[in-house]
Structure 1
């Protein structure tokens, strides 16, 4: 890791960095996407967005702005329930196919007018190329069939399906001039009628996205949004109610433009949100859900004052390579902010145009932390080796010094419980036999909820606080776990980052990022003389959060004990391939019961965390709220507002004293 003041300077790489020069800074603009004010928002002094087409009727403001509450609700309701019919290509001209005539004007005074043909050939190639570069997987190769020059007009003939793509280029800039594209003989006939305000809104948002999308660079330019003429005409930023719903709605339209998330990730690798007067990420946080594999991100010339204002995207873009934060007050307020930012993004190569990691350093980090121990579980996601170090230290301490272990990892808010599962299947190859009383030393404090029905008994078997946990684990029989290095086949260790872990300092009411670590394995139970007497299997789930003397504390520890069941259930068929880093293939996360189709676990976690932060609800209540509305975020916020007064105190995260 290289500090900024010593790092060698390198030319910015990637579209988000290289295109910065083309984005004029709105240094005294008035856009505040998160907190717009009537009469100010949308009146910035920037030079405006990239030129592009104008949607018919765009200059006619809708009642109360196009994204008033009812329309916004309709957008997301329709978007989540059906495919994006209105976003399909509309056919122009006869349904039976004849060519459609279009007139192109305003081109004759371009920089290409000095060409032998006055720039006509260059113009036609440009029209075909730009009309073919579209968002989504249904990209058409637009072809102009015939063309002729009539005075200052260029008359072109195209297939009906290509006409709409060309007409959307009305107002685009080419070779120093803006060209006009219109149909000869009247408006384009459409066989996909836009019949509702929600569909019109989606069509408008789709137009904004396409005007700002560079197909070749895979770059989506969302800078200076307040200067976009289309958005200004719709009064998007006049009111806080419309501005707060605008970006989530636009991200939803972007999602619906593609059949699969993989296609969306491949089509958009770079995004700029520069010059938007952002004071935090509240208004744009859904970008991390829509484009989780973004590689280049430009946040320059906004109003981020503290590192906390960027926490919503902490560790969210796992593939991020280039990040730009220049022109924010954060640079003056926190001279060491870059150290934290570099730690958030394990694949970050450049920060503000300065190289902070080499490809070799990233490859080495992946080998040493992402694939811990000899165990290569595809569900093991680590950050800085935290999970790996915890597993190594914890089980060694559990076998040798439980009192020291308790003071090292548990605090007064930590909880521990264990349960004996006497019905679990045994290893069919085991020669051990059941013996009377073999669970006698465990059953007194076992918290098996299938057998313990009374609330006082359940509460008595949950241990809270350092001393209580230390006493509980000290009463358990002595153990010896297999060596992690030499007996890797006897372990299955999974880890993933989870949001919403309680913050012991109370600084983050919505919780902080932590780890969920699940361990499956076995141990030998030792007698008083230290000799093995019984082999057991176990499953253990830890929730880790920041804090404690070790920098990591155990929030929750649940242990399940069972008769020895062998390792066949989690041992791969080809162990060598499983443990060899060069042969590991990415494994898709399995579908989770209860989540809508297409919603990944990572996206669900981010949505829950966002709702917790906005409402102050606990993890379980936030998830239940989203379940009830089909994981529609805005619907969950609305539902929360209706029942907030009737929720019990336990539904909310309370700052720790």
Structure 2
């Protein structure tokens, strides 16, 4: 007996007894394309076939899969490669249950290898089980299928656990249009082997898991927010129904928000549900590239803003490590229609208005990347209410494909109400009791892309806060607002007129100070409490040299990171776009 190949088998950390863990869906390609080299084992009759296969796995560190007993009494199975087959043949003669095993290479009866058989067999199985007119796929009692059993798909726990993942992969490649699936009578204890079902069949409407072994509600969590079109669900004949039925119904309704029927019982009023899910915008104010974009984007916006207004922390699952979020304040060209003062205090600290910021370091500081940074910024923004249904005329939206990332760009415009102060750790930072909550306008641009689990990921999220829009009696929108003071800053009394920069002088911070120019002692107490003495001196210097009012002067300093040279550059870059009421 030769031991030249001993210990050289590819040992892949299989579990005790040689059984593999249920395969990761991402590795199904490897499964379908492996187990292709047939081998035969004789002389094993002193114990069971499972004991022999387990012995080979432990002793030789090579897994023989899809094993079955041939008419001649030999075990026939498959290994992953020619190398594994050669290594296994070197163990021919090893003692098992008092006898010497004889291991040889075998050949498929039709001359094809197992790789071809696996794909071809499952493909033919899918074709025989699929009814195209009804878009129905019958996957009930698959372990009783004679052809599948003949090919050894259910010969061991290892091969059985791989069948459904392989089937899902092949079905996905075939792009079968399925709306109904019957998975009854498959001895399913959980959904681990069919976890990719929502990605494989994204338009699934009807699903039966009747007569399986599902006993816990938590098994359905892996499908949460994924079966977005599921209307009817059957789970009768499962131990799960031995629990409190009301609890089961409520949990199932929570996991599948469009579900209408459970085990034949109507759970929701379908017309009312569809009306509630219908996006409330007027058609005149919406533009979509096609119907798919319309459905995806309206679904996304409806669900997103429901959570944005009620529980922002639940939105963080949509953001990944590379996701980006920014908020900017736009106070350009407001029209004073009713004298209302708009307070942007809570947004100024994190404002990334690139027309006001030129320093690269500051630009990066105000671009929030990853869940932690984004969550922190969310907590610094006021609580809000977007009246998408009550006042749909206040909103408009455009959505179109972003082919470079296989994603969608969604632009949303409208008005919202601030309903509560931010959840920040330093309330004194903003003078919380001084800041007024009021109506504001916004523009928001999302770039959303598909996630590996079939949902959506927010790759980029840009929020612009601006003056609100009001509607006159003729329903024509007009921007509303006069510039508001900066954080806690009362309006400054007007001073004698002086030439605005760029008219009779070179643009820059060189304006001659008027007689009543402010000094440090003239700064409001709220401002002094928020900035140190050095920053106070810089603010006064900026006010003297630019003739800006206190609101715009404070904003210039803050967005220049309290650096005099940066203030000078930013002021020169923006002087021609500043409104007249930015000056004292």
Q: TM-score with structure 1 length normalisation?
A: 0.37
Bigger relative contact order, structure 1 or 2 (CA pairs below 8 A, ≥6 apart): 1
Q: TM-score with structure 2 length normalisation?
A: 0.41
| Greater Cα radius of gyration, structure 1 or 2 | 2
